[in-house]
Structure 1
């Protein structure tokens, strides 16, 4: 094999940013983007993306649930790069999208290199990462963790049939899992969606792990009565009891949590919901996240004693149940992380750190079936899932360049028979 001079090819930053802004136009509303999965804007953007992948020399397909997959003509072992392009109901322009377009840019750049064009690099945009209809529908189906029978019986969050919703969007609803034997791993480039990098003046972050999450529904049952004539001591007040329980959870979690634990009460309601009626029913949804499954277990176990105390003190019923299956913490690949570390040190020496991901990502799904890794760029002000979501253009270009470098390093270590020996 002819030994060619070795270099890390430069990505085309202007092309990267141009594609990001073009994709932003599908569903743009002011500074934000409204492109929830299976919306007309989402489907139109997927057809555009499929064409961009085809233009890059990839075998691009739109599968039956809406995943856009661009497959390299090169034989494996391959790396899979990508993320998602659906948004929150009123989201930002970079969440997920950045990872997809950066992956495409890396594939385009390496394709034209006389040596590095031998790297098998596949690009993907997975549908419904945001959970508009079925959380992580795209990555679960592509990774073989969602079967056809389960999908056919699935209901969207509003109770409608998932297959019917897919058909209404022009998709046949058939799962097309990837051949996992082709892949040596999955790398996802993403905005941080938090303040750590921006506050610390860092430009890149190698992700150490992805948190697991538990969602818990708590229902307190009391007795409705007149709020003006019922003495406080005679009440079975579901509303006040739930507030007391929420306060006890805050105190207990503050003592039990680790340095990376986060928790949130994102929804609370009282019934019948009138100012003059003592609530007979009160509900909340609690979510907590951590990298350590054992700590998540301890936090969940702490809820039952708190509920027992509320039952006794407030003379109400308290029911606690998991909402859906828990999301497992994702342990990322040390090998792929090492390639990202080399790339970040090369491109941003002293301006990068390792940090955990407090949000779930498609990489967390793929980490259950293959080696996976993630790289972050800063989110200005830590803002995300909102129109104010933004990242400096030079950081967007830097992140994509670091991703390209990591892919090259992976290939040179993994495919010595195809590429020149590392210098």
Structure 2
């Protein structure tokens, strides 16, 4: 059996967290000086374990195993959200390095910009060959507006090739990640074998009313787009629980009122709304419900609401054989302390699942915190899960 060096694994993770250190977390936004320093640091670690490192024209760092296959691909990302946690992404990349150090035939990848500072999964999509140059030309940083082309030039990546992955090289893709929720910790569990990654269906609701004076317009006369938005979301919150699955979630991420002044009745409201589930029929029921609510409110309100579907992603189901290998290893190392569970967040694994078998392993998140500098996981749980993944990877390669 492969002997994984858990002490060195934890040492690497703690060394990486010093790059862009922010309180107990990190601040390594994509293509920042800290992010590029961490990518060069990672390439050095890859060399140490016998991998052949390279960085492509979108910032993906790739460590290629020089020996014969069959091979596995293992990884995640190492840039962070702003002022965020030290494990989100980094855990999966350093797990790959640990497996390579243990002698397993793995290639290790750190995908660029999983966190979406410039776009949606641009690193993993580039490796699949579905990131066009025209899209790169159009993308800008969502926080400060810097064009992606400018960021690539400043990072020294301009003009570098963007090769596609060859899926025939791999038997499958493994990604270790923190749960980013409370399901494991709340049940006293130490590992989660992921069944699939949820689909995210996103919508824009535009409500047209009548802008008017807040003092001179009686309540009976008003066509208040803001109040319609509140009433619509209240109905969603009443009716969705009758149709949802056990892990369905829904979120109103933005309500924008125009003109947005305290003494003016809002004449227009824009609502950005999403729901997530791993089951497509559940997603379809929820969209039907949302459509019906809009239709009914257009008959009863003095405003008009338009529903626009912005995106409907597909759930990515994890490979059954890889799940079985992880489950067997979890039973060996944490019998009675693990469970099968879906991922409520998006991950690079959902793109790898399009071209090869893919799977994920979750570690607990203390208090469920993620995308915040207080994000953390017990070191004994990190060590436990790297042993689970090493045993699962070795067994799956033999199978």
Name the TM-score, length of structure 1 as normaliser: 0.90
- Figure out how many residues of one structure are paired with residues of the other and give that number: 397
Greater Cα offset, 306-315 or 393-402: 306-315
What's the CA shift for 1:312? 2.8
What's the CA shift for 1:154? 4.2
Of 50, 70, 76, 2:63 maps to: 70
1:253 is paired with a residue whose SS is: helix
| Inter-partner Cα distance in structure 1 for 2:50 and 2:221 | 74
What's the CA shift for 1:149? 4.4
Of 109, 122, 126, 1:137 maps to: 122
Equivalence for 1:378: 364
Equivalence for 2:270: 283
Equivalence for 2:344: 358
What's the CA shift for 1:321? 1.4
1:388 is paired with a residue whose SS is: coil
1:232 is paired with a residue whose SS is: coil
Of 184, 188, 194, 1:201 maps to: 188
Of 101, 110, 125, 1:125 maps to: 110
In the alignment, is residue 185 of structure 1 matched against residue 172 of structure 2? Answer: yes
What's the CA shift for 1:411? 2.2
Matches within 5 A, 1:328-343: 328-343=314-329
Of 318, 322, 329, 2:305 maps to: 318
| Inter-partner Cα distance in structure 2 for 1:391 and 1:160 | 34
What's the CA shift for 1:42? 0.8
What's the CA shift for 1:161? 3.7
Note if contact 2:180-2:368 (Cα within 8 Å) is conserved in structure 1: yes
Of 372, 387, 407, 2:373 maps to: 387
| Inter-partner Cα distance in structure 1 for 2:348 and 2:133 | 20
Of 197, 221, 229, 1:242 maps to: 229
What's the CA shift for 1:308? 2.2
| Inter-partner Cα distance in structure 1 for 2:218 and 2:299 | 18
**Ranges in structure 1 where 5+ consecutive residues have no aligned partner:** 1-7, 111-118, 414-423
Note if contact 1:85-1:125 (Cα within 8 Å) is conserved in structure 2: yes
In the alignment, is residue 151 of structure 1 matched against residue 136 of structure 2? Answer: yes
What's the CA shift for 1:167? 2.0
What's the CA shift for 1:124? 0.6
1:135 is paired with a residue whose SS is: coil
| Inter-partner Cα distance in structure 2 for 1:278 and 1:406 | 60
Note if contact 2:118-2:139 (Cα within 8 Å) is conserved in structure 1: no
Q: CA-atom RMSD, angstroms? A: 1.6
What's the CA shift for 1:77? 2.6
| Inter-partner Cα distance in structure 1 for 2:322 and 2:184 | 21
| Inter-partner Cα distance in structure 2 for 1:307 and 1:170 | 49
| Inter-partner Cα distance in structure 2 for 1:210 and 1:264 | 17
2:297 is paired with a residue whose SS is: helix
Equivalence for 1:113: none
What's the CA shift for 1:156? 4.7
| Inter-partner Cα distance in structure 2 for 1:13 and 1:77 | 24
| Inter-partner Cα distance in structure 2 for 1:184 and 1:288 | 32
Equivalence for 2:296: 309
Note if contact 1:237-1:314 (Cα within 8 Å) is conserved in structure 2: no
Equivalence for 2:14: 21
Of 14, 17, 37, 1:44 maps to: 37
What's the CA shift for 1:75? 2.9
**Ranges in structure 2 where 5+ consecutive residues have no aligned partner:** none
In the alignment, is residue 162 of structure 1 matched against residue 148 of structure 2? Answer: yes
What's the CA shift for 1:20? 0.8
Note if contact 1:221-1:316 (Cα within 8 Å) is conserved in structure 2: yes
Equivalence for 1:417: none
2:54 is paired with a residue whose SS is: strand
Of 188, 208, 222, 2:209 maps to: 222
